[in-house]
Amino acid sequence: MSAAPARPSEAQLNEFRRRVRAHIAEHAPPFEAREGRRAPENAEQEAQLRKWFATLFDAGLIGADWPVEHGGRADHHPLHDRILSEEILRARAPRPVDQVNLAAHVLLHFGSDDQKAELLPPMRRSEHVWCQLFSEPDAGSDIAAVRSRAAKQPDGTWVINGQKTWITDGHWADMGLALIRTDPTSSRHQGLSVFAVPMSTPGVEVRPIRTINEAIEVNEVFLDGVTLPAGSLIGEVGQGWSIIMAGLDFERFGIGGNVILLELLIDDLVMVARNAILEGTPALEHDDIRQTVAELAAEVEVAKSFIDDHVERLIAGAEQPGDGSIAKLSFAEAYHRVSAYGAQLAATVCTVAADPSVEQAKQRLRECWLWSRAYTVSGGSSEIMRNILTKRRLLLPSG
């Protein structure tokens, strides 16, 4: 990615925020984003989402951190990304697809010139939505255990066989970033390579998985004799582990950067607690409920403070090992605890107000709770994050 210019002034940042808000007001799709239901539910929604994402690229609001020769902006600063994320979330507009950001990061750092020329422009036009073909039935967060294999043919092509699972957006993605074992004698982190896989390639079969909230967000993907050209290999053969780890560190901070979602959850929780009656009085007036809400609000502030601190270190070029894992872990765990308590409160107390905004808050808390465990697993489970931190941050031995 391009280097950041001088830090913008507060006036410049405020002007950028106004520009983002105006863009969202003019171009965002006419439906509210819902947790656990980020994928389009029909062809009309898909068209609206693709158009929305393309406008964000066209306006230089996403992809601005790319090198200028590939569409980035010379005046981009990391604080612009933070403001964009905040405003999209606060407007409850659909967020850009995380997997597209990760694929762009991988291509810009490890892709060949031909791959960048071929794959980056359709990404910016939102003609290519990407998914991650990492997890497998016996290799979830432990992606070093992948067993899908690619065999190089005499003509230079690759033939891939295997199964991937829990593939977010796989049912409407155009491209997949796949981690495949290219050395059949290898194990764990060795012998892995990364491929760009067009999802329309013969032999690719996608089977949607319906989640607990009756939505389709994740999928199984079967790779049966999928033949890819030599140019589909990203980076070098056997470089897959380092490529994917670099990408996942980028993604994990992106997940943690959604900390504004936690603030919105707290807002919903407080609204429900204020408008619910428990034993004849508002729930928020009960000492135990008020104490729990306050503790959860404090946890949200801790997560937000870490993100703020990390952004400043990133700007200064002083980021620490494991920062992405800390961001992902703190966000995912706080999200689960806040939404679980909110869903419990919404279900066990009587809401007396007929205000539709209160009912919307209750629905959002339920949907967030049903989706919350996905955050503690996707992009690396909380247990894996803790293992990473013990090694990278605390420098503890593996044994």
Residues serving a catalytic function are: 251
Locate 386 and state its tokens. 């803790």
DSSP string computed for 177-202: EEEEE--TT--TTSSEEEEEEETTST
The answer to whether 327 and 306 are in contact (CB under 8 A) is yes
What's the sign of the alpha-carbon dihedral 177, 181, 183, 184?
Answer: negative
The answer to whether 20 and 26 are in contact (CB under 8 A) is no
Q: Which residues contact 269 (CB under 8 A, 6 or more apart)?
A: 293, 296, 338, 341, 342, 345, 361, 365
Helices 323-348, 382-392: crossing angle, 10 deg rounding = 150
Q: Nearest 5°: CA angle at 128, between 122 and 134?
A: 130
At residue 162, the 3 state secondary structure works out as strand
